[in-house]
Structure 1
């Protein structure tokens, strides 16, 4: 068996518990991973526009709108008018959304702590460097665009 096939077998045999650690992240969630990522983004940046949400999530505006509509209806997000420009609608987490994201971050923190305690300093350094290298590789390959470190800036249109 080639080294590539061995690597693929290793990945496929072990990816689920690494990416979806139900034993660790035991929140009773009916939300999709995209919905959770959007909520985490809102937690990180506060208020953002639908355009920023769609661009950050790399999904069409119609899909982002549908997801936000669902999360607003469930009570996890809220829509507000921008203080800078009342014509612009921004999305933010509701109190219920903030609570859910806080619990999710707590669970993830416990998962990371478990990993941290299991690895030596040398292994942690190697893991970190490999993660950065793999992330950069995927970023370069993914549509030639780097992921946004922050939501895209609002474009101001001068109206006469």
Structure 2
């Protein structure tokens, strides 16, 4: 395989920058103050893994425990997250979303869905399948 050309790199970079800008603008239109990207990732992970521990979240996201602690502190202050002690091991903490946290996570998932819909609707069915296959290859190919 040959290396990508400078033109290809520039075109891809411009497309990703435009996509990111649109994505951030869509998030900024929400009524409440948007969450930091890490905080959103934490919230969405906990939405899918209610009762998980902080170590689980940190491991999944690949962040240090101290970074995760700061994110969970912010989410607790915003009223999106609860920390609960586990009766069996009082040192352990289970993370769950509040009603507001659940609502935010649901709205975030729907916003992502709308972005994906916009992206894919501009492609033919065959192009969609190829695009998804290529993105999947890029994201999950470890070689």
TM-score by length of 1: 0.76
Question: How far apart in 2 are the matches of 1:83 and 1:74?
Answer: 26
CA distance 1:84–1:113, shift in 2 (3 Å):
farther
- Determine if the alignment matches structure 1 residue 118 to structure 2 residue 122: yes
Shift of 1:63: 1.1
Shift of 1:7: 1.6
Task: Report what 2:137 is aligned to.
Answer: 133
CA distance 1:9–1:78, shift in 2 (3 Å):
same
Question: How far apart in 2 are the matches of 1:23 and 1:87?
Answer: 41
CA RMSD of superposed structures (Å): 2.1
Shift of 1:3: 4.6
Larger helix share, 1 or 2 = 2
CA distance 1:6–1:53, shift in 2 (3 Å):
same
Task: Report what 1:11 is aligned to.
Answer: 12
Task: Report what 1:73 is aligned to.
Answer: 77
Task: Report what 2:86 is aligned to.
Answer: 82
Unmatched runs of 5 consecutive residues or more in structure 2: none
- Determine if the alignment matches structure 1 residue 103 to structure 2 residue 104: no
> What is the number of equivalent residue pairs in this alignment?
138
Unmatched runs of 5 consecutive residues or more in structure 1: 142-160
Question: How far apart in 2 are the matches of 1:24 and 1:30?
Answer: 10
